[in-house]
Structure 1
Amino acid sequence: MIPRIIDSHSHFHFPAYDQDRQEIFLRMQETQTWTVTVGTNATTSQKAIEAANQYPGVFACVGYHPNSFTSSYEDPDEPRDTDPYSVQVLTSIATSSSRIVALGETGLDYYRMDEGLNVEEGKRRQASAFLDHIQVGQKLDLPIVIHCREAFDDLIRMLAEEKAKGAEIRGVIHCFTGSWELAQKLLDLGLYLSFTGIVTFKPRASDDPEQHIHRVIERMPLDRMMIETDAPWLAPEPYRGKRNEPSYVIHVAEQIAKLRNTSVDEICQATTQNAIRFFRLDRFVE
């Protein structure tokens, strides 16, 4: 059965849900919600695979977050790896289950780098791993889920260079919050854009309306849009500030429908079909 709605990016396997994961899953079933649960290193990617193997309608995305290479900060939800990164380890993880539908979240993040780390060295490490994900994705015919923060100029340059070499990159920018000008550059590269509960937050008085994320939602082609929770973070209104979960993605769809002056069903149907096409989930539809 085709789900009503797909949360294209969550962390359903994180410890934040260890006490009530079954209840979270039951709410997903009640709302006909599927989710792609996303790893951030080898350890969390393995947990994502385990969750995808256990729960129907849950699929795994595996890979290394760019902060894995430049930050020693450790989130309680993201235990660090004990073994070093290598492209061989990435490939091994990515071929370990039929429930793996993408690589990531990979990309560039210049926001958080360890004090004392040479910035150019940090950028080099992240870029090298990002290219690894692109190349492994090409080899295994898997799309890439891209995280980018304060690094879009370099990201766009790298993607354009790879495409110029003949790479066919199937990618989505997760948690997009940029301007329409930036969105156009990413769409021109053939990427999808995915939106979180941030779209339900009221604009600040100081925000430039023309640069606001709402303008992107109003203007962008619907066939390149996906929606997500990034759970357990970024809960939409009316749950802002609380723990997020995949079934809350409907609130993202409702806000997008309002901004585009269309029905919630149209947004659900379009973004669900986009996610099915992007992640090739049709093989899991009964």
Structure 2
Amino acid sequence: MKMIDAHIHLDHYKDEEINSLMGGSSQIEILVSVSFDLESCKRNLYLSRRFSRVKPAFGFHPEQPLPTGEDLNELLVWMEKHREEMFAIGEVGLPYYQRLDQKVSKQDYCQYMKLLESFILKAKIWEKPIVLHAVYDDAPIVCDLLEKHSVRKAHFHWFKGDDKTVERMAGKGYFISVTPDVVYEEEIQQLVRRYPLEQMMVETDGPWPFGGPFQGQMTNPNMMMESIKMIAKLKKRSNDEVAGILIRNTKFFYNLT
């Protein structure tokens, strides 16, 4: 089975780990490496130039302090300069976990929304897919912004949310991606049962660590094999059929050849 990791932070791995991953299984056809900030973008661009399997996405991860106006402008100028090598805008979104830990004020949250909206507008202007960090009660807000600007090519990575939002996202044609926690998390299994397979991808979000049978292991794209098997079981389809659909979905979403 060929696989595509639709969302990985390859730049967050150590050099020796990257060399091991890239020299490993030929089953991993492509890795979409998302960015955290400008330095992360530069690192991912370098990795994409070094390894043809790496396709970079550029953006600013929301689970960190807001950028200054100067820093944001520098990032957007850099993204504009390198947009021909950029396969998507991401990872961008809203700071759900920071807000949960009471690290974001209401005023700051409004600024995060404006920041996200600026990236959504760039996705529309540059005609790029957008990769979103938007879970639970942040997701409807992000849907509102996408609809406001008529942006449809949206990927909600590692999505978690209520049934109403799931139905809304599926109806709008938005994509989700599933991590290896589908193997042991009932919440994610329920999402897979409900969401259209034709709008689904698999990812690792590496180097984020996983539990269950992956406890204590370095997150490796090969773990997606177990994700695919579980998705196939939940959808009552064969492993090969599901693997083929997922890889076609990912190539379509990211305009990969």
TM-score (norm 2): 0.89
Partner of 1:257: 232
Does residue 112 of the first structure (1) align with residue 98 of the second (2)? Answer: yes
Q: Write out per-residue CA displacement over residues 196-232 of structure 1, whole angstroms, 9 at most, x where no aligned residue.
A: 11211153xxxxxxxx332221232211111100011
Pick which of 105-114 and 222-231 moved more.
105-114
Q: Give the conservation status (yes or no) of the 8 Å contact 1:198–1:234.
A: no
Corresponding residue pairs, total? 256
Does residue 49 of the first structure (1) align with residue 45 of the second (2)? Answer: yes
Pick which of 240-249 and 255-264 moved more.
240-249
Q: CA RMSD in A?
A: 2.5
Does residue 132 of the first structure (1) align with residue 115 of the second (2)? Answer: no
Partner of 1:22: 19
Q: Secondary structure at the match of 1:64?
A: coil
Residue 94 (structure 1) shift: 4.7
Partner of 2:192: 217
TM-score (norm 1): 0.81
Q: How does 1:266-281 map to 2 (within 5 A)?
A: 266-281=241-256
Equivalent position amino acid for 1:262 in 2: R
Q: Secondary structure at the match of 2:177?
A: strand
Identity fraction in percent:
22
Partner of 1:151: 138
Residue 236 (structure 1) shift: 6.5
Higher helix share: 2
Partner of 1:77: none
Q: Write out per-residue CA displacement over residues 247-276 of structure 1, whole angstroms, 9 at most, x where no aligned residue.
A: 222221111111112111111111111111
Cα distance between partner residues in 2 of 1:234 and 1:114: 21
Q: 1:84 to 1:267 in 2, by over 3 A?
A: farther
Q: 1:117 to 1:259 in 2, by over 3 A?
A: closer
Does residue 7 of the first structure (1) align with residue 5 of the second (2)? Answer: yes
Q: Write out per-residue CA displacement over residues 126-182 of structure 1, whole angstroms, 9 at most, x where no aligned residue.
A: 11111111111111111100001442232222223223xxxx331100001334432
Residue 110 (structure 1) shift: 3.0
Cα distance between partner residues in 2 of 1:260 and 1:217: 8
Residue 245 (structure 1) shift: 1.8
Which residues of structure 1 form unaligned runs of 5+? 71-80, 204-211
Runs of 4+ in 1 over 6 A off after TM superposition: 114-118
Which residues of structure 2 form unaligned runs of 5+? none
Residue 34 (structure 1) shift: 1.5
Partner of 2:127: 141
Q: Give the conservation status (yes or no) of the 8 Å contact 2:5–2:28.
A: no
